[in-house]
Structures are given as structure tokens and as C-alpha cells.
């Protein structure tokens, strides 16, 4: 069994200027931008090509979506604070901010649950019209990304946090990578909110 350490897990590569984990997450996020970009493009083409496009606010709850926007923007701030706590070598502050990030992400999902169930109670389904089909597709995919981010953050709050004792620099890098993903998820919502709910 080899004990050789994989290079560039912490150190930056000479050819790219970033470590492998950061390079990997940027490549992954590029593919995610293409995925959501295709959905936004579909939305634009269908909306431009339709004469009687329904206004989102007639189907959707703008106050609930605004509350979710506050939750996600705040969770981005707490995610940054979690990472900065590790930079300052303050693990207890990291745990507090990461827990807040997770709770805010869960609050987003709870609001989304009530928003979806309200639609279903009024017989509004993806098959009702094109707008609702796009709404459920785009927000549903976003919800899956939020759940994925929460799973990663919960891991790094509980079992994964043991890495802080054995390799704090590597753990700090992992939180930075998780933070980049979480910021992407928040950024997608910042575009979804006005496009679906306000325009």
C-alpha cells in the first residue's frame, strides 16, 4: 500500500494557479451554468413566442419567494463567515456559522414545501400550463441543488470536521470549495426570483 500523497490538494498548480479541488469545482460549476443557462434560454424563447404568457405573480407567492431570497443571501454570508473562522483558526465559530448556514438552507426548503403544497391544493401542476411546467422544472432542479449543498455542509459540520484535527489546511480548502458551490446555488436563486416571480 502506497503512502504517497496526491499532489496539489492544498498547493496551487503551476499551470493553472489553483489547487486541484478549486479547479474541479470551477469546471463543475461551469457545467451547472450551462444546465441552468439552457433552462433560462428555454424560458425566454417560450415567453417571447407566446402571446398570452401568464404573469408569475398571478400563480406564485412573491412574499414567500422574497423570504427565501433573504434566507439564501444570509446563508451565503454565514458560509463566508464559517470559512473565515477557519482562516482565523477559530473552530467553534466555524461550527456556529456552518450550523446557521444549514438552518437557513433548511428554512428555504420549508418555505418551498409550503409554496409547492399551496400550488397542489389549488390544482396547479406542471401540466397546467407552460409557465408552471417551467416553474416546477427550474425551481425543482434548484431545490435538488440546495439539498445537495446541505448534505455536503452537514457532512463537514459533523463527521467531516474531524479533518480539522488531522489536516486543518486541507479542511479549510474543502470548506472554501463547499462555499463556492453554495454561492452558486444562491446566485441561481437570485436569477430565478425576478425571472419567475416578478417579470
What is the tens place of the pLDDT at every residue in 91-124? 999 999 999 999 999 999 999 999 999 999 999 9
Q: What is the pLDDT of residue 16?
A: 75
pTM for the predicted model, two decimal places: 0.91
Which residues of the chain fall short of a pLDDT of 70?
1-10, 56-57
User: CB of 115 within 8 A of CB of 64?
Assistant: yes
Give the per-residue pLDDT at 7. Answer: 67
The pLDDT value recorded for residue 17 is: 77
Query: pLDDT over 90 for what percent of the chain?
Result: 79
Tell me what pLDDT residue 183 has. Answer: 98
* pLDDT number for residue 98: 98
pLDDT at 30: 97
Q: How far apart are CA 150 and CA 106, in angstroms?
A: 8
Cα 96 to Cα 46: distance, rounded to the nearest angstrom: 44
Q: Mind spelling out the 3-state secondary structure of the chain?
A: CCCCCCCCCCCCCCCCCCCHHHHHHHHHHHHHHHHHHHHHHHHHHHHHCCCCCCCHHHCCCHHHHHHHHHHHHHHHHHHHHHHHHHHCCCHHHHHHHHHHHHHHHHHHHHHHHHHHHHHHHCCCCCCCCHHHHHHHHHHHHHHHHHHHHHHHHHHHHCHHHHHHHHCHHHHHHHHHHHHHHHHHHHHHHHHHHHHHHHC
Break the chain into its structural domains and give their ranges: 20-50+62-198
- How far is the C-alpha of 199 from the C-alpha of 192, rounded, in Å? 10
The CATH number for 20-50+62-198, chosen from 3.10.180.10, 1.20.1630.10, 1.10.10.60, 1.20.120.80, is 1.20.120.80
Which pLDDT does position 2 carry in this prediction? 56
> In this predicted structure, what is the pLDDT of residue 49?
84
Amino acid at each position: 500500500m502506497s503512502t504517497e500523497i496526491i499532489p496539489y490538494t492544498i498547493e496551487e498548480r503551476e499551470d493553472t494557479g489553483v489547487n486541484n479541488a478549486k479547479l474541479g469545482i470551477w469546471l463543475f460549476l461551469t457545467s451547472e451554468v450551462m444546465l441552468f443557462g439552457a433552462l433560462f434560454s428555454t424560458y425566454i424563447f417560450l415567453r417571447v413566442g407566446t402571446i398570452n404568457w401568464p404573469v408569475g405573480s398571478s400563480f406564485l407567492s412573491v412574499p414567500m419567494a422574497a423570504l427565501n431570497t433573504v434566507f439564501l443571501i444570509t446563508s451565503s454570508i454565514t458560509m463566508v463567515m464559517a470559512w473565515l473562522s477557519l482562516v482565523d483558526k477559530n473552530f467553534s465559530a466555524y461550527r456556529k456559522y456552518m450550523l446557521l448556514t444549514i438552518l437557513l438552507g433548511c428554512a428555504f426548503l420549508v418555505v418551498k414545501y409550503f409554496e409547492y403544497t399551496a400550488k397542489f391544493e389549488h390544482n396547479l401542476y406542471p401540466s397546467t400550463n407552460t409557465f408552471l411546467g417551467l416553474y416546477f422544472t427550474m425551481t425543482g432542479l434548484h431545490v435538488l441543488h440546495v439539498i445537495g449543498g446541505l448534505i455536503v455542509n452537514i457532512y463537514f459540520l459533523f463527521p467531516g470536521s474531524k479533518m480539522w484535527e488531522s489536516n486543518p489546511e486541507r479542511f479549510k480548502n474543502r470548506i472554501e470549495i463547499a462555499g463556492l458551490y453554495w454561492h452558486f446555488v444562491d446566485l441561481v436563486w437570485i436569477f430565478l426570483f425576478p425571472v419567475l416571480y416578478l417579470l
